[in-house]
Amino acid sequence: MASAAALVLAYALHRLVGLSGVGYLYLAAVFLLPAVWSAGRLEASSGRKDPSIVVIDEVVGQWVALAGVASHNWLGWLGAFLLFRLLDIWKAPPARQLEKLRGGWGIVVDDIIAGAYAALALHLAGRLNLY
pLDDT value for 78? 97
Q: What is the pLDDT of residues 13-65, one digit of tens each?
A: 999 999 999 999 999 999 999 999 999 999 999 999 888 899 999 999 999 99
pLDDT at 108: 97
What is the 8-class DSSP label of residue 50? S
pTM: 0.94
Helix, strand, coil: what percent of the chain each, to 5?
75, 0, 25
Q: How far apart are the first and last CA of the chain?
A: 24
Tens-place pLDDT, residues 81-121: 999 999 999 999 999 999 999 999 999 999 999 999 999 99
Domain boundaries, the chain: 2-127
Rounded to an integer, the average pLDDT of 65-86 is 96
DSSP calls for 77-117? HHHHHHHHHHHHHH-TTTHHHHTTSSHHHHHHHHHHHHHHH
Q: How many CB atoms lie within 10 A of CB 98?
A: 17
Residue 49: predicted pLDDT: 87
Asked if residue 128 has pLDDT above 90, the reply is: yes
